[in-house]
Chains A and B, each alone.
Chain A
Amino acid sequence: MWLPNWPILRLQRSGAASAEQPVVTVASERGQRRLACVCPLAAEAGLRVGQALAEARALCPALDVHEAVPEEDAAALGRLAEWATRFTPLAAADPPEGLWLDIAGCAHLHGGEDALCAAIARRLGETGFPARLAVADASGAAWALARCAGGGTRVVAPGGERAALEDLPVGLLRLDDRAVAALRRVGIRRIGALAGLPRAEVAARFGALPALRLEQAFGTAEEPIAWPMPARPWQEARRFAEPIAAPEDLMRALALLAEALGARLEGQSQGARRFVARFLRVDGGVPAIGIATARPVRDAAYVLKLLAAKLETVDPGFGVEAVTLEAQALGSLAGAQAALDGRAEAGADLAATLDTLIARLGEDALWRPSPLGSHVPERAVGRAPPLTAVAWPAQLPDRPLRLFTPPEPIEATAAVPDDPPLLFRWRGRLHRVRAAAGPERIAAEWWRRTPDATRPAHDFIRDYYRVEDQQGGRFWVFRVGLVGVPRWFLHGVFG
């Protein structure tokens, strides 16, 4: 991708340079102030790169002159490359005026290479950066085609680089001025002419660069592009010269990884609530063990203790050639200071015990009940993380101690349809009702329910009774169906 006059565009975009006047940037070159970059308006006025500033001012009095700052241009280009990672994960700055985008394998996500280029050009154009793009298998070809005079977006089919570059000037091969001048002296102006010469003679006469650039343009030579590294993941890995299998060795490897990861986390005042250790076996299997904690931790010994409890589930097979340890669910963790008497802060042993329990039972198996604003019994209780403080109201309607989900159907007999039952059969046992209280009417929350024509509205209304049988067992039963034959359910048992 080529962004012509990037330094000036950048200045105009930031508002430092005017958009109506001719703009140039100048750099000091051998004691002389010379133009480094010229905007299209200034070019129309006859200015060109390399001209002395005094001469330029004479040609165009209304010139807006700025100092060239190549470092800032490169940094801004780097930020633009970061922006371009929305199109492809591999985007690198190509100072002074270009970007490399490796769109292999991601063009189809945007509807093909043409559509992707159009999208990028449109997005850049909207922001005020007219960009020229070219797509080719070879980096050199893409570079040359983006900058060739034709303009617009060029997409070269695989293998078509040579034909596309045939008529372009050799200057587009990213050669230095001396090489271009030397080629020109012997009458080589087009890339096609250069390509027709024997490679060894070109290298001997003009140096290694033209031959290399030619091969890079035709895709026969690799070009190293410095893709910016993604943020370093919170992972540590260790590879072994010889596969290891003994549990003690695995433990030692985990200890080293936990130390390294803990040190990195400490440097950022971070802790993690989840750690995953993966064991890369020689046969390709990757058994993994994971631990979760109630609050962020990074202490290597502590993480190791929890991991050790699960290490026995790992089958090393014929040997493990690498071990990785990854920290997930990061949270800030400031350094804790021990109390004066050397004891850890209060609550630390609770968190430690919870971690042991989580390691044993699983992360979802521990929770603190929290009240939810719903009068439907099944929805009145939520699950909060075990270390959060939860406040319950002081008074709630009388509720059973055991609640069965879903409610269990019972056969019940009542004197009249809207009376509490006289007797009911639950789990094969007959219960004669001695006393009853109720009803408490609870209707389903209509705002949660999708209307269903096959079930009448009164199907979602429950009449609850607290009943006591002859033995003294106390139950929470409800009736559904105000019209027709009522159905009875047992929802809970009181303690």
Chain B
Amino acid sequence: MPPALAACLPGGVLPLGVLHEMEPEAGAEVQHGAVVAGFAARLLARLPDSQQGGGKPWLWLAGRGDLYPPGLLALGLDPGRLVLACGRDDAAVLAAMEAGLRGGGFGAVVGEAGRLTRLAARRLQLACLRHGTTGLLLHRWPYGRPAGAGDETPSAVTRWRIGVAPSGEGGAPRWRLALLHARGGVPGEWLVEAGERDATDPVRVVAELADPAAAAQRRRLG
């Protein structure tokens, strides 16, 4: 994690073996969630376990099969380590995600689903703790974001929001990355840029976006 992001996270690192949530910002991203999936893949490829070769496979669960494995290669993630699975609906994906986390054997479990109830989130979180498997829940609403989605009390350890941003000088893709909630950390918002394919950080921070409340909270803490 780049220093600016690490400063907001508890202990300065992304906690492992717990549940993380990510959601798209607005626009068509809400429907296809490509940017969210891209951030998750960059994060996944740089989890400590994956540094040694031949680690455990990752499970990627989705409601629809439009994830294109060759696209993961450019993000530094080996598609050969993925086990892809398709569920009928959100409930099936969440139940399968819980089974995948609870059973062990996977290095991390990624699930794409829409609404997450508090109970389901709690169950996922407990399932993560059981084997120390990291869970990533990517929010995605194929038919548009329903009213009130994302306003629930956070149950996961961190919750991120990713949106697109115009690319920089060299044509490197950029995103607006917001840490909405971190247990034991503070929220923040940044403009980030894709790093090299084999960089150790998933993204490079270009600028810290003004967020007076968060900045004040950080000053108070720090």
Contacts and interface: CB of A to CB of B under 8 A. Distances in A.
A44 to B, nearest CB: 76
Interface stretch (A28-36, A399-407, A438-446, A447-455): A399-407
Contacts of B84: 366-369
Among B28, B38, B175, find the residue whose CB has the most chain A CB atoms closer than 10 A: B28
Most chain-A CB neighbours within 10 Å: which of B73, B92, B106, B171? B73
B32 to A, nearest CB: 5
Contacts of A392: 69, 73, 78-80
Contacts of A49: none
Contact of B34 (A349, A350, A370, A493): A493
Contact of A353 (B32, B38, B70, B104): B104
B206 interface: no
Interface stretch (B10-18, B113-121, B159-167, B209-217): B159-167
Interface in B150-195: 164-167, 171, 173-175
A284 B86 CA distance: 35
B54 to A, nearest CB: 9
A366 B34 CA distance: 21
A435 interface: yes
A361 B94 CA distance: 11
Contacts of B82: 368-369
Interface in A392-450: 392-396, 398-405, 426-427, 429, 434-435, 437
B100 interface: yes
A390 B70 CA distance: 13
Nearest to A404: B66
Contacts of A473: 27-29, 164
Interface stretch (A64-72, A177-185, A233-241, A464-472): A464-472
B85 A357 contact: yes
Contacts of B57: 350, 368
Contacts of B36: 495
A353 B69 contact: no
B68 A401 contact: yes
Contacts of B69: 369, 381, 392
Given A361-B86, A361-B92, A495 B105 contact: no
A353 B100 contact: yes
A492 interface: yes
B103 interface: yes
A216 interface: no
Interface in B57-71: 57, 59, 66-71
B191 to A, nearest CB: 10
A47 B173 CA distance: 101
Name the residue among A350, A371, A389, A394 with the largest chain B CB count within 10 angstroms: A350
A369 B80 CA distance: 6
A380 interface: yes
Given A392-B78, A395-B73, A495-B34, A402 B68 contact: yes
Interface string B38-49: 110100000000
A399 B70 contact: yes
Contacts of B73: 392-396, 399
A460 interface: no
Given A353-B105, A381-B70, A401 B99 contact: no
Contacts of A474: 164, 167, 173
B166 A472 contact: yes
A365 B93 CA distance: 11
A289 B143 CA distance: 34
B135 interface: no
A403 B66 contact: yes
B32 A472 contact: no
A223 B201 CA distance: 83
Which of B29, B39, B166 has most chain A Cβ within 10 Å? Answer: B166
Nearest to B75: A495
B37 interface: yes
Contacts of A377: 68, 70
Contact of B28 (A349, A400, A426, A492): A426
- Top 3 nearest A-B pairs (CB, nearest first) are A495-B38, A353-B103, A350-B105
12 contacts: A347-B105, A357-B99, A361-B85, A365-B85, A369-B79, A380-B70, A396-B70, A398-B74, A401-B71, A429-B27, A435-B171, A495-B75
Interface of B: 27-29, 31-39, 41, 56-57, 59, 66-75, 78-80, 82-87, 92, 95-96, 99-100, 103-106, 164-167, 171, 173-175
Interface of A: 347, 349-354, 356-357, 360-361, 365-371, 377, 380-381, 386, 389-396, 398-405, 426-427, 429, 434-435, 437, 468, 470-474, 492-495
Given A353-B104, A472-B164, 10 more contacts: A352-B103, A360-B95, A365-B86, A367-B84, A368-B82, A393-B73, A400-B68, A437-B171, A471-B165, A473-B27
